[in-house]
Copies of this chain bind each other. A is one copy, B any other.
Amino acid sequence: MVPSARLLTPNGGAAAGPAPSRREETANGGGPDLAALRPTNRSRGKAQAGKPRKRAPIWNLQAAVFVSVVLNVGLLLQHYVNSTAPSHHHHQEHLQACPMHLDAGVGRNRRGRQEEPQLSMPKAGAPSTGKPAVTPDSVINLDHGDPTMFEEFWRGTGSAAEIVIPGWQTMSYFSDVGNVCWFLEPGLDHEVRRLHRLVGNAAVDGYHVLVGTGSTQLFMAALYALSPRTDSAAGAAPMSVVSTAPYYSSYPAVTDFLQSGLFRWAGDANTFKGDTYIELVCSPNNPDGAIREAVLSSESSIAVHDLAYYWPQYTAITKRADHDIMLFTVSKSTGHAGTRIGWALVKDRDVAKRMTKFIELNTIGVSKDSQLRAAKVLRAVSDAYELPETKEAHRLFDYGRRKMVERWSMLREAAAASGIFSLPEETSGFCNFTKEMAVTNPAFAWLRCDREDVEDCASFLRGHKILTRSGSQFGADPRYVRVSMLDRDDAYDIFVKRLSSLQ
| Residues on B with beta carbons closer than 8 Å to the beta carbon of A182 | 32, 34, 37
| Residues on B with beta carbons closer than 8 Å to the beta carbon of A186 | 101, 108-109, 122, 126, 128
In the assembled complex, A52 has its CB within 8 A of some CB on chain B = no
Interface of A is mostly: loop
In the assembled complex, A400 has its CB within 8 A of some CB on chain B = no
Interface membership of chain A positions 239-281, coded 1 if the CB is closer than 8 angstroms to chain B and 0 otherwise: 0000000000000011001111110000000000000000101
Whether the pair B216, A362 counts as a contact (CB closer than 8 A) is: yes
Whether the pair B31, A365 counts as a contact (CB closer than 8 A) is: yes
Whether the pair B229, A131 counts as a contact (CB closer than 8 A) is: no
A6-B302, A108-B186 known; A365+B348 contact, CB < 8 A = no
Interface membership of chain A positions 93-120, coded 1 if the CB is closer than 8 angstroms to chain B and 0 otherwise: 1111000110000001111111000000
Interface membership of chain A positions 2-19, coded 1 if the CB is closer than 8 angstroms to chain B and 0 otherwise: 111111111100010110
> Which of these, B86, B88, B225, contacts A10 with CB under 8 Å?
B225
Query: Which segment of A205-213, A402-410, A452-460 sits at the interface?
Result: A205-213
Whether the pair B32, A360 counts as a contact (CB closer than 8 A) is: yes
Whether the pair B86, A318 counts as a contact (CB closer than 8 A) is: no
Whether the pair A177, B34 counts as a contact (CB closer than 8 A) is: yes
Per the bound structure, the CA–CA distance linking A365 and B32 in Å amounts to 9
Q: Closest Cβ of chain B: how far from A3's Cβ, in Å?
A: 6
Per the bound structure, the CA–CA distance linking A191 and B109 in Å amounts to 12
- Could you jot down 10 A-B contacts, CB within 8 Å? A20-B229, A32-B360, A112-B193, A128-B174, A151-B171, A164-B165, A167-B377, A232-B261, A257-B361, A339-B367
Query: Which segment of A141-149, A412-420, A443-451 sits at the interface?
Result: A141-149
In the assembled complex, A388 has its CB within 8 A of some CB on chain B = no
- A92 nearest CB neighbor, chain B only: B178
Whether the pair B367, A340 counts as a contact (CB closer than 8 A) is: yes
Interface membership of chain A positions 152-173, coded 1 if the CB is closer than 8 angstroms to chain B and 0 otherwise: 0011010111111111111111
| Residues on B with beta carbons closer than 8 Å to the beta carbon of A57 | none
- A230 nearest CB neighbor, chain B only: B259
- A12 nearest CB neighbor, chain B only: B228
Q: Closest Cβ of chain B: how far from A395's Cβ, in Å?
A: 14
In the assembled complex, A319 has its CB within 8 A of some CB on chain B = yes
Whether the pair B298, A37 counts as a contact (CB closer than 8 A) is: no
Whether the pair A147, B162 counts as a contact (CB closer than 8 A) is: no
Query: Which segment of A289-297, A434-442, A462-470, A473-481 sits at the interface?
Result: A289-297
In the assembled complex, A497 has its CB within 8 A of some CB on chain B = no
Q: Closest Cβ of chain B: how far from A211's Cβ, in Å?
A: 12
In the assembled complex, A220 has its CB within 8 A of some CB on chain B = yes
Interface membership of chain A positions 171-187, coded 1 if the CB is closer than 8 angstroms to chain B and 0 otherwise: 11111111110100111
Which of A37, A318, A336, A341 gathers the greatest number of chain B CB atoms within 10 Å? A336
Whether the pair B259, A361 counts as a contact (CB closer than 8 A) is: no
Protomer copies: 2
In the assembled complex, A370 has its CB within 8 A of some CB on chain B = yes
Whether the pair B365, A205 counts as a contact (CB closer than 8 A) is: no
| Residues on B with beta carbons closer than 8 Å to the beta carbon of A368 | 127-128, 338-340, 370
In the assembled complex, A217 has its CB within 8 A of some CB on chain B = yes
Whether the pair A217, B335 counts as a contact (CB closer than 8 A) is: no
Whether the pair B130, A3 counts as a contact (CB closer than 8 A) is: no
Per the bound structure, the CA–CA distance linking A130 and B377 in Å amounts to 23
Whether the pair A190, B350 counts as a contact (CB closer than 8 A) is: no
In the assembled complex, A376 has its CB within 8 A of some CB on chain B = yes
Chain A 315-360 residues near chain B, CB threshold 8 A? 318-319, 321-325, 331, 335-341, 347-351, 353-354, 357-358, 360
| Residues on B with beta carbons closer than 8 Å to the beta carbon of A331 | 173
Whether the pair A173, B85 counts as a contact (CB closer than 8 A) is: no
- A254 nearest CB neighbor, chain B only: B361
In the assembled complex, A214 has its CB within 8 A of some CB on chain B = yes
A32-B364, A174-B146 known; A1+B350 contact, CB < 8 A = no
Whether the pair A187, B1 counts as a contact (CB closer than 8 A) is: no
Whether the pair B5, A180 counts as a contact (CB closer than 8 A) is: no
Whether the pair B187, A171 counts as a contact (CB closer than 8 A) is: no
In the assembled complex, A305 has its CB within 8 A of some CB on chain B = yes
Whether the pair B112, A206 counts as a contact (CB closer than 8 A) is: yes
| Residues on B with beta carbons closer than 8 Å to the beta carbon of A493 | none
| Residues on B with beta carbons closer than 8 Å to the beta carbon of A362 | 213, 216-217, 220, 254, 362
Whether the pair A127, B185 counts as a contact (CB closer than 8 A) is: yes
Per the bound structure, the CA–CA distance linking A291 and B339 in Å amounts to 37
Whether the pair A4, B302 counts as a contact (CB closer than 8 A) is: yes
- A296 nearest CB neighbor, chain B only: B5
A130-B171, A226-B10 known; A340+B363 contact, CB < 8 A = yes
The 8 closest A-B pairs by CB, nearest first: A130-B172, A161-B167, A259-B261, A4-B303, A31-B364, A154-B168, A338-B368, A367-B367
Q: Closest Cβ of chain B: how far from A140's Cβ, in Å?
A: 14
